[in-house]
């Protein structure tokens, strides 16, 4: 007999609502780690053009290093065929999850565990950084909404710190 696979998320699937902010699990995504010495080699394989400046985003792709990008696409998006190309495309969809923090004091909630000056962190940008000592990718989607990409093994801890911070503001 074959058992059905069931996704068990490391954090609650029900959002935690507070006056300061809401902390919630984002829906599953397809995530691909992209590496290439020449971004043009990846441009031909993906929809749109890759951002070239570290910290910028375009078409769901975040530039996180001089030769490294993270492509966040709707769940089920197929990985491009890079056969014969001098590039690396790795499916990292199950490695991490996304936690959203949104609300009037979202900046303060995320700032509680992050050293960046988030008041001046531009909308539409992202950065590899830390949250309470955990490596994350922090994306600012609007003035009052952040998305934290965190490895599953650190998700429960990160969720707990965010919920505590939001509940205390």
Model pLDDT for residues 74-90, shown as the tens digit of each residue: 999 888 888 888 999 99
Is the domain of 113 the same as that of 139?
A: yes
Q: What is the mean predicted confidence (pLDDT) over 40-47? A: 83
C-alpha separations of 123 from 44, 104, 120 in Å? 27, 15, 9
Is the domain of 83 the same as that of 55?
A: yes
Sheet holding 61-65, edge to edge: 57-58, 61-65, 68-74, 29-36, 87-91
Is the domain of 35 the same as that of 84?
A: yes
Is the domain of 99 the same as that of 164?
A: yes
| Tally of domains in the chain | 2
Query: Is residue 159 very low, low, confident or very high in pLDDT (cuts 50, 70, 90)?
Result: very high
Higher-confidence residue of 1 and 77: namely 77
C-alpha 90/C-alpha 151 separation (Å) is: 15
Residue 141, classed as helix, strand or coil, is strand
| pTM (predicted TM-score) | 0.91
Is the domain of 87 the same as that of 98?
A: no
Give the percent of the chain with pLDDT over 70. Answer: 96
Report the pLDDT value the prediction gives residue 149, as an integer from 0 to 100.
97
Q: Which of 39, 10, 14, 20 has its CA nearest to residue 101? A: 20
Is the domain of 81 the same as that of 98?
A: no
End-of-domain residue from the set 66, 91, 116: 91
Is the domain of 105 the same as that of 79?
A: no
Domain residue limits at 131: 16-28+94-168
**Which is it for the CA torsion 151, 152, 154, 157, positive or negative?**
positive
Report the pLDDT value the prediction gives residue 2, as an integer from 0 to 100.
66
Is the domain of 22 the same as that of 103?
A: yes
Which distant-in-sequence residues (6+ apart) come within 8 Å of 83 by Cβ? none
C-alpha 131/C-alpha 96 separation (Å) is: 15
């Amino acid at each position: 007999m074959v058992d059905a696979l069931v996704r068990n998320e490391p954090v609650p699937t029900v959002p935690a609502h507070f006056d300061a902010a809401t902390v919630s699990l984002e829906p599953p995504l397809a995530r691909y780690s992209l590496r290439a010495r020449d971004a043009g080699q990846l441009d031909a394989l993906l929809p749109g053009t890759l951002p070239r400046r570290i910290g910028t985003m375009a078409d769901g792709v975040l530039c996180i290093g001089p030769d490294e990008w993270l492509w966040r696409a709707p769940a089920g998006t197929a990985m491009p065929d890079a056969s014969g190309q001098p590039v690396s495309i790795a499916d990292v969809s199950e490695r991490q999850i996304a936690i959203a923090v949104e609300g009037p004091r979202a900046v303060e909630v995320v700032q509680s565990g992050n050293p960046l000056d988030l008041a001046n962190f531009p909308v539409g940008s992202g950065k590899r950084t830390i949250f309470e000592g955990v490596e994350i990718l922090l994306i600012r989607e609007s003035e009052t909404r952040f998305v934290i990409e965190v490895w599953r093994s650190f998700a429960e801890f990160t969720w707990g710190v965010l919920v505590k911070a939001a509940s205390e503001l």
